[in-house]
Amino acid sequence: MKIAILSRNKKLYSTRRLVEAAIARGHDPIVIDFLRCYMTIASHQPTIHFDGKELNDIDVVIPRIGASVSFYGSAVVRQFQMMKTHTLNKSEGIIRSRDKLHSLQLLSCKGIGLPITGFANRPAEIDDLIRMVGGAPLVIKLLSGTQGIGVVLAETKQAASSVIEAFMGLKANILVQEYIQEAKGADIRCFVIGNKVVAAMERKAKAGEFRSNLHRGGSSKLIKITPEERSTAVRSAKILGLSVAGVDILRSNHGPVVMEVNSSPGLKGIESITGKDIAGMIIEFLEKTLKNTKKRKEHNEDIPRYGLKKSA
Ligand SMILES: Nc1ncnc2c1ncn2[C@@H]1O[C@H](COP(=O)(O)OP(=O)(O)O)[C@@H](O)[C@H]1O
Ligand SMILES: [Mg+2]
Protein backbone atom coordinates (compact mmCIF):
# COMPACT_ATOMS: atom_id res chain seq x y z
CA MET A 1 0.00 0.00 0.00
CA LYS A 2 1.11 3.54 -0.63
CA ILE A 3 0.48 5.17 2.74
CA ALA A 4 0.39 8.94 3.16
CA ILE A 5 1.07 10.02 6.73
CA LEU A 6 -0.28 13.56 7.12
CA SER A 7 2.12 15.07 9.63
CA ARG A 8 3.88 18.40 9.99
CA ASN A 9 7.16 16.88 11.09
CA LYS A 10 8.93 13.70 9.96
CA LYS A 11 11.00 13.65 13.13
CA LEU A 12 8.11 13.32 15.58
CA TYR A 13 8.19 9.97 17.39
CA SER A 14 4.70 8.90 16.27
CA THR A 15 5.36 9.84 12.63
CA ARG A 16 8.72 8.03 12.61
CA ARG A 17 7.22 4.91 14.15
CA LEU A 18 4.38 4.79 11.61
CA VAL A 19 6.92 5.10 8.77
CA GLU A 20 9.07 2.33 10.28
CA ALA A 21 6.08 0.05 10.86
CA ALA A 22 4.79 0.59 7.31
CA ILE A 23 8.20 -0.26 5.81
CA ALA A 24 8.55 -3.29 8.10
CA ARG A 25 5.24 -4.64 6.75
CA GLY A 26 6.29 -4.10 3.12
CA HIS A 27 4.45 -0.87 2.35
CA ASP A 28 5.47 2.41 0.79
CA PRO A 29 4.97 5.30 3.25
CA ILE A 30 5.38 9.02 2.55
CA VAL A 31 5.12 11.81 5.09
CA ILE A 32 3.17 14.79 3.82
CA ASP A 33 3.05 18.16 5.52
CA PHE A 34 -0.68 18.76 5.08
CA LEU A 35 -0.29 22.54 5.45
CA ARG A 36 1.64 22.41 2.16
CA CYS A 37 -1.15 20.52 0.38
CA TYR A 38 -3.52 22.47 -1.85
CA MET A 39 -6.63 21.33 -3.60
CA THR A 40 -9.15 21.89 -6.31
CA ILE A 41 -12.79 21.40 -5.52
CA ALA A 42 -14.35 20.60 -8.86
CA SER A 43 -17.33 18.53 -9.84
CA HIS A 44 -16.36 14.89 -10.58
CA GLN A 45 -12.67 15.68 -10.23
CA PRO A 46 -11.49 16.76 -6.80
CA THR A 47 -7.68 16.79 -6.55
CA ILE A 48 -4.90 17.34 -4.02
CA HIS A 49 -1.50 18.70 -4.91
CA PHE A 50 1.78 18.75 -3.01
CA ASP A 51 5.06 20.24 -4.15
CA GLY A 52 3.73 20.92 -7.66
CA LYS A 53 2.50 17.33 -8.17
CA GLU A 54 -0.93 15.78 -7.98
CA LEU A 55 -1.33 13.16 -5.24
CA ASN A 56 -3.30 10.52 -7.09
CA ASP A 57 -1.62 7.26 -6.15
CA ILE A 58 -2.31 7.13 -2.41
CA ASP A 59 -4.09 4.00 -1.15
CA VAL A 60 -4.56 5.08 2.43
CA VAL A 61 -4.12 8.18 4.57
CA ILE A 62 -3.08 8.31 8.23
CA PRO A 63 -3.98 11.75 9.58
CA ARG A 64 -1.81 13.09 12.42
CA ILE A 65 -3.41 16.51 12.75
CA GLY A 66 -2.29 18.78 15.60
CA ALA A 67 -4.97 20.72 17.50
CA SER A 68 -3.74 24.13 16.33
CA VAL A 69 -4.14 23.21 12.65
CA SER A 70 -7.40 21.24 12.87
CA PHE A 71 -9.29 23.37 10.37
CA TYR A 72 -6.86 23.08 7.47
CA GLY A 73 -5.82 19.54 8.40
CA SER A 74 -9.37 18.22 8.44
CA ALA A 75 -10.08 19.96 5.11
CA VAL A 76 -7.17 18.03 3.57
CA VAL A 77 -8.42 14.75 5.07
CA ARG A 78 -11.94 15.52 3.78
CA GLN A 79 -10.54 16.16 0.31
CA PHE A 80 -8.94 12.69 0.32
CA GLN A 81 -12.35 11.31 1.33
CA MET A 82 -13.94 13.16 -1.64
CA MET A 83 -11.36 11.41 -3.85
CA LYS A 84 -12.53 8.06 -2.33
CA THR A 85 -9.14 7.47 -0.70
CA HIS A 86 -9.41 5.48 2.52
CA THR A 87 -8.43 7.49 5.60
CA LEU A 88 -7.71 5.91 8.99
CA ASN A 89 -9.80 8.52 10.82
CA LYS A 90 -12.33 10.57 8.90
CA SER A 91 -12.46 14.37 9.00
CA GLU A 92 -15.87 14.28 10.75
CA GLY A 93 -14.42 12.28 13.65
CA ILE A 94 -11.37 14.53 13.91
CA ILE A 95 -13.52 17.67 14.04
CA ARG A 96 -15.93 16.19 16.62
CA SER A 97 -13.13 15.06 18.91
CA ARG A 98 -11.48 18.50 18.82
CA ASP A 99 -14.56 20.12 20.36
CA LYS A 100 -14.93 18.84 23.93
CA LEU A 101 -18.54 20.03 24.17
CA HIS A 102 -19.61 18.41 20.92
CA SER A 103 -17.90 15.14 21.91
CA LEU A 104 -19.53 15.06 25.35
CA GLN A 105 -22.96 15.82 23.84
CA LEU A 106 -22.62 12.90 21.41
CA LEU A 107 -21.38 10.56 24.17
CA SER A 108 -24.10 11.64 26.62
CA CYS A 109 -26.98 10.62 24.40
CA LYS A 110 -25.50 7.14 24.00
CA GLY A 111 -25.27 6.61 27.75
CA ILE A 112 -21.48 6.84 28.16
CA GLY A 113 -20.46 7.78 31.74
CA LEU A 114 -19.31 11.42 31.90
CA PRO A 115 -18.41 13.92 34.61
CA ILE A 116 -21.53 16.11 35.08
CA THR A 117 -20.83 18.99 32.73
CA GLY A 118 -22.41 22.40 32.23
CA PHE A 119 -22.16 25.00 29.48
CA ALA A 120 -23.50 28.55 29.48
CA ASN A 121 -23.00 31.84 27.77
CA ARG A 122 -23.99 34.57 30.23
CA PRO A 123 -22.59 35.53 33.65
CA ALA A 124 -26.20 35.79 34.88
CA GLU A 125 -26.43 31.99 34.72
CA ILE A 126 -23.24 31.23 36.69
CA ASP A 127 -24.82 30.46 40.07
CA ASP A 128 -27.34 28.08 38.59
CA LEU A 129 -24.67 26.46 36.44
CA ILE A 130 -22.45 25.81 39.46
CA ARG A 131 -25.41 24.29 41.31
CA MET A 132 -26.27 22.08 38.31
CA VAL A 133 -22.84 20.46 38.29
CA GLY A 134 -22.96 19.82 42.03
CA GLY A 135 -21.13 22.86 43.43
CA ALA A 136 -17.43 23.38 44.27
CA PRO A 137 -14.85 22.01 43.96
CA LEU A 138 -15.26 21.98 40.21
CA VAL A 139 -13.21 22.01 37.04
CA ILE A 140 -13.42 24.78 34.46
CA LYS A 141 -12.02 24.09 30.97
CA LEU A 142 -11.48 26.00 27.79
CA LEU A 143 -13.38 24.18 25.04
CA SER A 144 -10.43 24.06 22.70
CA GLY A 145 -7.58 23.60 25.20
CA THR A 146 -5.00 20.81 24.98
CA GLN A 147 -2.14 19.47 27.11
CA GLY A 148 -3.88 20.58 30.28
CA ILE A 149 -3.58 24.28 29.44
CA GLY A 150 -6.84 26.07 30.19
CA VAL A 151 -8.02 23.45 32.72
CA VAL A 152 -8.55 25.01 36.15
CA LEU A 153 -9.62 23.52 39.49
CA ALA A 154 -11.78 25.91 41.50
CA GLU A 155 -11.89 24.78 45.13
CA THR A 156 -14.65 27.11 46.32
CA LYS A 157 -17.84 28.53 44.86
CA GLN A 158 -16.38 32.05 45.02
CA ALA A 159 -13.26 31.01 43.11
CA ALA A 160 -15.40 29.18 40.56
CA SER A 161 -17.66 32.21 39.93
CA SER A 162 -14.71 34.57 39.49
CA VAL A 163 -12.88 32.26 37.09
CA ILE A 164 -16.04 31.59 35.05
CA GLU A 165 -16.80 35.31 34.96
CA ALA A 166 -13.25 36.11 33.84
CA PHE A 167 -13.33 33.53 31.02
CA MET A 168 -16.77 34.75 29.90
CA GLY A 169 -15.49 38.34 29.95
CA LEU A 170 -12.77 37.25 27.52
CA LYS A 171 -15.44 35.63 25.31
CA ALA A 172 -13.79 32.25 25.81
CA ASN A 173 -16.02 29.17 25.56
CA ILE A 174 -15.75 27.06 28.69
CA LEU A 175 -17.13 23.90 30.21
CA VAL A 176 -17.86 23.65 33.91
CA GLN A 177 -17.43 20.13 35.21
CA GLU A 178 -17.88 18.01 38.32
CA TYR A 179 -14.44 17.45 39.86
CA ILE A 180 -13.72 13.72 40.13
CA GLN A 181 -11.74 13.98 43.34
CA GLU A 182 -11.70 10.22 43.96
CA ALA A 183 -9.58 9.73 40.80
CA LYS A 184 -6.76 11.27 42.90
CA GLY A 185 -5.09 13.06 39.99
CA ALA A 186 -4.88 9.92 37.85
CA ASP A 187 -6.55 9.07 34.57
CA ILE A 188 -6.42 6.16 32.16
CA ARG A 189 -5.44 6.50 28.51
CA CYS A 190 -7.04 3.69 26.51
CA PHE A 191 -5.57 3.27 23.05
CA VAL A 192 -8.34 2.04 20.77
CA ILE A 193 -7.80 0.48 17.34
CA GLY A 194 -11.01 -0.65 15.64
CA ASN A 195 -13.06 -2.61 18.16
CA LYS A 196 -10.29 -3.16 20.70
CA VAL A 197 -8.37 -1.41 23.43
CA VAL A 198 -4.90 -2.55 22.35
CA ALA A 199 -3.05 -0.85 25.22
CA ALA A 200 -3.77 1.17 28.33
CA MET A 201 -1.72 3.23 30.76
CA GLU A 202 -2.35 5.21 33.89
CA ARG A 203 -1.14 8.81 34.01
CA LYS A 204 -0.68 10.39 37.39
CA ALA A 205 -0.32 14.07 38.16
CA LYS A 206 2.83 15.25 39.92
CA ALA A 207 2.54 16.26 43.57
CA GLY A 208 0.45 19.39 44.09
CA GLU A 209 -1.16 19.16 40.62
CA PHE A 210 -4.51 17.63 39.61
CA ARG A 211 -3.89 17.47 35.84
CA SER A 212 -2.26 14.20 34.81
CA ASN A 213 -1.03 15.42 31.39
CA LEU A 214 2.56 14.34 30.72
CA HIS A 215 3.12 17.90 29.46
CA ARG A 216 2.22 19.10 32.97
CA GLY A 217 4.80 16.83 34.59
CA GLY A 218 2.60 13.74 35.03
CA SER A 219 4.08 10.24 35.03
CA SER A 220 2.70 7.06 33.52
CA LYS A 221 2.63 3.36 34.31
CA LEU A 222 1.08 0.15 33.09
CA ILE A 223 -2.46 -0.56 34.28
CA LYS A 224 -5.00 -3.33 33.93
CA ILE A 225 -8.40 -2.00 32.95
CA THR A 226 -11.81 -3.48 33.74
CA PRO A 227 -14.20 -4.87 31.10
CA GLU A 228 -16.48 -1.86 31.75
CA GLU A 229 -13.61 0.57 31.08
CA ARG A 230 -12.70 -1.39 27.97
CA SER A 231 -16.20 -1.24 26.53
CA THR A 232 -16.59 2.45 27.50
CA ALA A 233 -13.42 3.29 25.53
CA VAL A 234 -14.37 1.24 22.47
CA ARG A 235 -17.93 2.60 22.39
CA SER A 236 -16.73 6.19 22.81
CA ALA A 237 -14.36 5.95 19.84
CA LYS A 238 -17.13 4.40 17.77
CA ILE A 239 -19.70 7.06 18.73
CA LEU A 240 -17.31 9.80 17.61
CA GLY A 241 -16.59 7.85 14.42
CA LEU A 242 -12.91 7.19 15.08
CA SER A 243 -11.11 3.98 14.10
CA VAL A 244 -8.06 4.95 16.13
CA ALA A 245 -8.44 7.00 19.29
CA GLY A 246 -6.95 7.75 22.68
CA VAL A 247 -9.85 7.66 25.12
CA ASP A 248 -9.15 9.28 28.50
CA ILE A 249 -11.12 7.90 31.40
CA LEU A 250 -11.36 8.82 35.09
CA ARG A 251 -12.28 6.24 37.75
CA SER A 252 -15.19 7.88 39.55
CA ASN A 253 -17.51 6.69 42.33
CA HIS A 254 -20.19 6.34 39.66
CA GLY A 255 -18.06 4.16 37.35
CA PRO A 256 -15.71 5.07 34.49
CA VAL A 257 -16.28 8.57 33.09
CA VAL A 258 -14.85 9.79 29.79
CA MET A 259 -13.02 13.09 29.85
CA GLU A 260 -11.97 13.37 26.26
CA VAL A 261 -11.29 11.42 23.09
CA ASN A 262 -8.16 12.19 21.10
CA SER A 263 -8.11 11.52 17.35
CA SER A 264 -4.32 11.68 16.92
CA PRO A 265 -3.14 9.91 20.08
CA GLY A 266 0.63 9.97 20.62
CA LEU A 267 2.54 6.68 20.41
CA LYS A 268 5.60 7.49 22.47
CA GLY A 269 4.23 7.12 26.00
CA ILE A 270 2.00 4.16 25.28
CA GLU A 271 4.64 2.20 23.31
CA SER A 272 7.32 2.77 25.91
CA ILE A 273 5.09 1.88 28.87
CA THR A 274 3.50 -1.20 27.33
CA GLY A 275 6.41 -2.33 25.12
CA LYS A 276 3.85 -2.94 22.36
CA ASP A 277 4.27 -2.21 18.66
CA ILE A 278 1.21 0.04 18.41
CA ALA A 279 2.39 1.57 15.11
CA GLY A 280 2.54 -1.95 13.63
CA MET A 281 -0.98 -2.66 14.92
CA ILE A 282 -2.29 0.48 13.19
CA ILE A 283 -0.74 -0.60 9.87
CA GLU A 284 -2.10 -4.13 10.31
CA PHE A 285 -5.56 -2.70 11.02
CA LEU A 286 -5.37 -0.66 7.79
CA GLU A 287 -4.35 -3.75 5.81
CA LYS A 288 -7.40 -5.63 7.11
CA THR A 289 -9.78 -2.72 6.59
CA LEU A 290 -8.63 -2.18 3.03
CA LYS A 291 -8.90 -5.88 2.25
CA ASN A 292 -12.48 -5.99 3.62
CA THR A 293 -13.42 -2.84 1.71
CA LYS A 294 -12.08 -4.34 -1.52
CA LYS A 295 -14.01 -7.57 -0.93
CA ARG A 296 -17.22 -5.66 -0.26
CA LYS A 297 -16.71 -3.57 -3.39
CA GLU A 298 -16.24 -6.78 -5.42
CA HIS A 299 -19.49 -8.13 -3.99
CA ASN A 300 -21.22 -4.77 -4.38
CA GLU A 301 -22.08 -4.66 -0.68
CA ASP A 302 -22.62 -1.58 1.45
CA ILE A 303 -19.38 -0.41 3.02
CA PRO A 304 -19.98 0.37 6.70
CA ARG A 305 -18.95 3.85 7.83
CA TYR A 306 -15.47 4.21 9.26
CA GLY A 307 -14.48 0.78 7.98
CA LEU A 308 -15.54 -0.94 11.20
CA LYS A 309 -17.40 -4.24 11.32
CA LYS A 310 -21.18 -3.96 11.59
CA SER A 311 -21.14 -6.05 14.77
CA ALA A 312 -19.02 -3.41 16.58
N1 LIG B 1 -13.62 16.58 35.77
C2 LIG B 1 -12.38 16.30 36.15
N3 LIG B 1 -12.13 15.76 37.37
C4 LIG B 1 -10.86 15.47 37.76
N5 LIG B 1 -9.77 15.71 37.02
C6 LIG B 1 -9.95 16.25 35.80
C7 LIG B 1 -11.25 16.57 35.30
N8 LIG B 1 -11.13 17.09 34.06
C9 LIG B 1 -9.81 17.11 33.80
N10 LIG B 1 -9.09 16.61 34.83
C11 LIG B 1 -7.62 16.47 34.87
O12 LIG B 1 -7.06 17.48 34.04
C13 LIG B 1 -6.36 16.91 32.93
C14 LIG B 1 -6.59 17.75 31.67
O15 LIG B 1 -7.96 17.77 31.31
P16 LIG B 1 -8.49 17.43 29.85
O17 LIG B 1 -9.95 17.60 29.83
O18 LIG B 1 -7.95 16.12 29.41
O19 LIG B 1 -7.83 18.62 28.99
P20 LIG B 1 -6.65 18.60 27.91
O21 LIG B 1 -7.34 18.46 26.60
O22 LIG B 1 -6.01 19.93 28.06
O23 LIG B 1 -5.75 17.43 28.20
C24 LIG B 1 -6.89 15.50 32.82
O25 LIG B 1 -5.93 14.64 32.25
C26 LIG B 1 -7.20 15.14 34.27
O27 LIG B 1 -6.03 14.68 34.94
MG1 LIG C 1 -6.39 15.48 28.19
- Asked, for residue 28, whether it belongs to a domain, the answer is yes
List the beta bridge partners of residue 47.
40
Residue 197, burial from CB neighbour count under 10 angstroms (0-12, 13-18, 19+): buried
| 145 in the same domain as 36 | no
What CATH number did the domain enclosing 244 receive? 3.30.470.20
Instruction: Report how far ligand 2's centroid is from the alpha carbon of 183 (Å).
Output: 14
Instruction: Report how far ligand 1's centroid is from the alpha carbon of 151 (Å).
Output: 7
Point out the domain boundary residue: 163, 179, 195: 179
- Asked, for residue 122, whether it belongs to a domain, the answer is yes
Residue nearest to atom 16 of ligand 1 (CA): 148
Residue 217 has a CB neighbour count (10 Å cut-off) of: 14
> Which residue, 138, 147, 117, is CA-closest to 181?
138
At 303 the pLDDT is: 54
Instruction: Report how far ligand 1's centroid is from the alpha carbon of 308 (Å).
Output: 29
- Asked, for residue 296, whether it belongs to a domain, the answer is no
Which residues constitute the domain of residue 201? Answer: 99-112+182-274
Q: By three-state DSSP, how is residue 170 classified?
A: coil
- Asked, for residue 303, whether it belongs to a domain, the answer is no
| 244 in the same domain as 187 | yes
Q: What's the average model confidence in pLDDT over 277-282?
A: 98
Ligand 1 pocket test, candidate residues 211, 219, 248, 253, most atoms within 8 A of CB: 211
| 188 in the same domain as 222 | yes
At 302 the pLDDT is: 61
Segment 84-143, tens digit of pLDDT = 999 999 999 999 999 999 999 999 999 999 999 999 988 889 999 999 999 999 999 998
Judge if the upstream peptide bond of residue 115 is cis by omega within 30 degrees of 0. no
DSSP H helices in the chain = 13-24, 70-82, 91-98, 100-108, 126-132, 157-169, 227-240, 268-274, 278-298
| 30 in the same domain as 170 | no
Instruction: Report how far ligand 2's centroid is from the alpha carbon of 147 (Å).
Output: 6
At 44 the pLDDT is: 84
Segment 156-169, tens digit of pLDDT = 999 999 999 999 99
What CATH number did the domain enclosing 39 receive? 3.40.50.20
Distance of alpha carbon 103 from alpha carbon 95, whole angstroms: 9
100-108 and 227-240 helices cross at what angle (nearest 10)?
110
Ligand 1 pocket test, candidate residues 133, 141, 144, 151, most atoms within 8 A of CB: 151
At 145 the pLDDT is: 80
100-108 and 91-98 helices cross at what angle (nearest 10)?
100
- How confident is the prediction for the chain on average, in pLDDT? 93
| 254 in the same domain as 213 | yes
Q: Is the model's pLDDT at 256 over the cut of 90?
A: yes
Q: Is the model's pLDDT at 308 over the cut of 50?
A: no
Q: Is the model's pLDDT at 276 over the cut of 60?
A: yes
- Asked, for residue 280, whether it belongs to a domain, the answer is no
Question: How many independent structural domains does the chain possess?
Answer: 3
Q: Which ligand is nearest to the CA of 259?
A: 1
At 215 the pLDDT is: 86
Q: What's the average model confidence in pLDDT over 68-75?
A: 94
Confidence label for 144 from pLDDT (cuts 50, 70 and 90): confident
Question: Which residues approach ligand 1 with their CB closer than 6 A?
Answer: 115, 139, 141, 145-148, 151, 177-180, 183, 187, 205, 210-213, 248, 250, 259-260
Residue nearest to atom 11 of ligand 1 (CA): 211
- Between 96-110, 163-177, 284-298, the lowest mean confidence (pLDDT) is in 284-298
| 151 in the same domain as 64 | no
Q: What's the average model confidence in pLDDT over 265-294?
A: 95
Q: Is the model's pLDDT at 310 over the cut of 70?
A: no
At 118 the pLDDT is: 95
Residue 242 has a CB neighbour count (10 Å cut-off) of: 27
> Which residue, 235, 171, 162, 157, is CA-closest to 197?
235
Q: Is the model's pLDDT at 4 over the cut of 80?
A: yes
| 255 in the same domain as 188 | yes
At 301 the pLDDT is: 67
Burial code (b: 16+ CB inside 10 Å, e: under 16) for 35-58 equals: eebebeeeeeebebebeeeebeeb
- Between 161-165, 239-243, 298-302, the lowest mean confidence (pLDDT) is in 298-302
| 234 in the same domain as 108 | yes
Q: Which residues contact 64 (CB under 8 A, 6 or more apart)?
A: 5, 6, 7, 12, 14, 15, 18, 264
- Asked, for residue 208, whether it belongs to a domain, the answer is yes
Q: By three-state DSSP, how is residue 312 classified?
A: coil
| 9 in the same domain as 40 | yes
- Asked, for residue 302, whether it belongs to a domain, the answer is no
Please state, in angstroms and as integers, the Cα–Cα distance from residue 194 to each residue in 169, 173, 309, following that order: 42, 32, 9
| 251 in the same domain as 129 | no
Confidence label for 299 from pLDDT (cuts 50, 70 and 90): confident
| 254 in the same domain as 200 | yes
What CATH number did the domain enclosing 164 receive? 3.30.1490.20
Predicted model pTM: 0.93
Q: Is the model's pLDDT at 309 over the cut of 50?
A: no
Please state, in angstroms and as integers, the Cα–Cα distance from residue 48 to each residue in 15, 29, 38, 91, 135, following that order: 21, 17, 6, 15, 50
- Asked, for residue 107, whether it belongs to a domain, the answer is yes
Q: What's the average model confidence in pLDDT over 170-189?
A: 95
| 150 in the same domain as 162 | yes
Q: Which residues contact 16 (CB under 8 A, 6 or more apart)?
A: 10
Residue 176 has a CB neighbour count (10 Å cut-off) of: 23
